Amino acid sequence: MAITPGRNPNSLLALILPSELQANQFAVTEKGKEWPLYKFLRAPSAIEELKPYSTGQGGVLVWMDNGTLAYINNGGRFPPPTRFAKFFDLHSGVCIRILGDSDDAILETATFFGALESFQKQIEISYKHNLDFDDARAEQLALIMDKNQTRKICFIGAKLNSAVSAMIATRPYPINLYLENASIDDDAFLKHFQGRTTPFGSLSSEKSLATSLFKTIFHQLNLFEHFRVNRLPNDLILQLLSASVKSVGFTVGDENKDLDLMAADIVPKDIRIQTLYEAFPSTFMLSFLRRVAQLGHVESLELSLHEHDPIPVEVGMALLGLLGASKNLKSLKLPVSVDALDDQFIKDLFDVIEKHDRLTVFSITAYPTKLDPQFKWLKHLMQRNRRVHVTDNHGTNWKYDRELEKIYALNRFLHGSHMVTKEPLSIRTLVLGTALTYGAVNHFQRAASLLADQADILCEILHEIDLANEAHDDSSLLKRKADDDDDEGNPADPELGPRRKRQWK
């Protein structure tokens, strides 16, 4: 991977020879072996340009001009040991750990990498607790967030102090904030969030937030599009479910198991519930499922239950009733082991999904291979309902044999064909021609479905062809008439056209 400086004008990195190390730089050794060290020949244009250097020999070490060391890798290992005690991590398709002694220099380098373009949908941020954020450094972090405001911004295991919490609360645009084992400064966030009138965006936290913070935020839930937190008391669960929020999520513990939701006003269309219990919360779950079935408006539902505890038959029946009543349901995720599900329930579940008109996503933790070792149920389901895409909890297709792979491929094509109908006319015409030439060539079922979905485009094409042929025929007639008139010494009739042509047919 060593790159000689100047050999290739397009090279991104160059090897630093031991004699070229600056006063603030040092050699890095691991298990008696010295790591090659690099420097940038030019600034990268995007994160993706770093990917070739992130694989192979465990990644690369790059000395930055400000004395920080950047470890670029694919996340498969920790960096070699150095004398630096502080670090800042960025992950946006490539993992970058920035090591150094100076907080200012570390944030400067983090801003350099964090501002690079990326095709990824999210950026992950983490740093050691001894990295001290004052207002100025929080503004450096704000530059990273500003550059990635359209992506999901994840803070992993970080302690967000008052300066960072205030900065997050006052972003002038909606953000998609996810806190994974990360904590915020409740007082600072609350102080700057109060009085906010512009949309905040989305907030998801794996940790429970302070009660005082909850009380204030819940008075301004209208500023959120998605709001997902853990460990809510019953009164706040009721308040959350009645809020005009597109998506909500919360946990149900033993303190919530007796909450009855049969009279609750459930507004959100996207709901995620994770259960944390010693005894199954039948009262809560039955009332929730039955109430949602009554309302019938939910579009996405995720129920994460204990993997091995058996689910009561009555609860399984209520879930089937919800599926049958929720005609708008598009996504159902059941992160639960099949060991917890009754055999008859699984069969009935597949039968109900087979007849569902709107469901497009169905995911389960594990496939019931003991009951269906050859995946016949899944094949039958996906052949009868080609709209639904069945996956595991990670969104990965189930694999068994070539036949199942072909079913997945056909359904994906048919779904794509249907989705194209929502695109502009020019794009649909282009896609139709490309799909017929490549994706549907020699495949009758694909071609038939494509032409059925795009029948209006096909009619437009045929109409244009007919007009072109008619114009060509008229031109030929005019030419023949002109030739005849020339032979007879008579001028050609300029009015000869489609009407005369139709009379001669």
CA dihedral angle for residue 245, residue 250, residue 252, residue 253, rounded to 10 degrees: -140
Residue that terminates a domain, selected from 148, 168, 184: 148
For residues 233 and 482, give the distance between their C-alpha atoms in angstroms, rounded to a whole number: 91
* Residue 399 token pair: 């694999």
Residue that terminates a domain, selected from 94, 119, 148: 148
pLDDT score recorded for residue 422: 57
Tell me, yes or no, whether 92 lies in a domain.
Answer: yes
pLDDT score recorded for residue 469: 63
Q: Are 234 and 251 in contact (CB under 8 A)?
A: no
Tell me, yes or no, whether 93 lies in a domain.
Answer: yes
Q: Give the closest residue to 13 by CA, choosing from 31, 36, 30.
A: 36
Q: Are 303 and 270 in contact (CB under 8 A)?
A: no
Residue 103's domain comprises 1-148
For residues 290 and 279, give the distance between their C-alpha atoms in angstroms, rounded to a whole number: 20
Tell me, yes or no, whether 502 lies in a domain.
Answer: yes
C-alpha count within 13 angstroms, C-beta hemisphere, residue 239: 14
pLDDT score recorded for residue 488: 55
For residues 423 and 66, give the distance between their C-alpha atoms in angstroms, rounded to a whole number: 48
For residues 414 and 418, give the distance between their C-alpha atoms in angstroms, rounded to a whole number: 6
Burial of 397 (0-12, 13-18, 19+ CB in 10 A): middle
pLDDT score recorded for residue 427: 62
Model pLDDT for residues 28-43, shown as the tens digit of each residue: 999 999 999 999 999 9
Q: Are 100 and 57 in contact (CB under 8 A)?
A: no
Q: Are 168 and 191 in contact (CB under 8 A)?
A: no
pLDDT score recorded for residue 6: 41
Tell me, yes or no, whether 161 lies in a domain.
Answer: no
Q: Are 194 and 217 in contact (CB under 8 A)?
A: no
pLDDT score recorded for residue 460: 60
CA 188-191-194 angle, to 5 degrees, is 140
Residue that terminates a domain, selected from 98, 120, 148: 148
Tell me, yes or no, whether 74 lies in a domain.
Answer: yes
Q: Are 363 and 395 in contact (CB under 8 A)?
A: yes
Per-residue pLDDT 10s for the chain (505 aa) are 333 444 555 789 999 999 999 999 999 999 999 999 999 999 999 999 999 999 877 899 999 999 999 999 999 899 999 999 999 999 999 999 999 999 999 999 999 999 999 999 999 999 998 999 999 999 999 999 999 999 999 999 999 999 999 999 999 999 999 999 999 999 999 999 998 999 999 999 988 888 778 888 999 999 999 999 998 999 999 999 999 999 999 999 999 999 999 999 999 999 999 998 888 899 999 999 999 999 999 999 999 987 566 788 999 999 999 999 999 999 999 988 777 777 888 889 999 999 999 999 999 988 988 889 999 999 999 999 999 999 999 999 999 999 999 999 888 877 765 665 555 656 656 666 565 565 555 565 656 666 665 566 666 655 555 555 655 555 665 556 556 655 555 554 444 444 333 333 3
Residue 404, SS3 per DSSP: helix
pLDDT score recorded for residue 500: 35
Q: How many domains does the chain have?
A: 2
Which neighbouring-strand residues pair with 39? 14
Tell me, yes or no, whether 430 lies in a domain.
Answer: no
CA 34-36-39 angle, to 5 degrees, is 145
Distance of CA 130 to CAs 40, 80, 103, 133, 159, Å? 28, 20, 9, 9, 10
* Residue 61 token pair: 């070490």
Tell me, yes or no, whether 389 lies in a domain.
Answer: no
- CB within 8 Å of 265: residues ≥ 6 apart: 241, 242
pLDDT score recorded for residue 191: 94
Q: Are 252 and 277 in contact (CB under 8 A)?
A: yes
> Dihedral sign, CA of 172, 173, 174, 178?
negative
Give the number of residues written for the chain: 505
Tell me, yes or no, whether 391 lies in a domain.
Answer: no
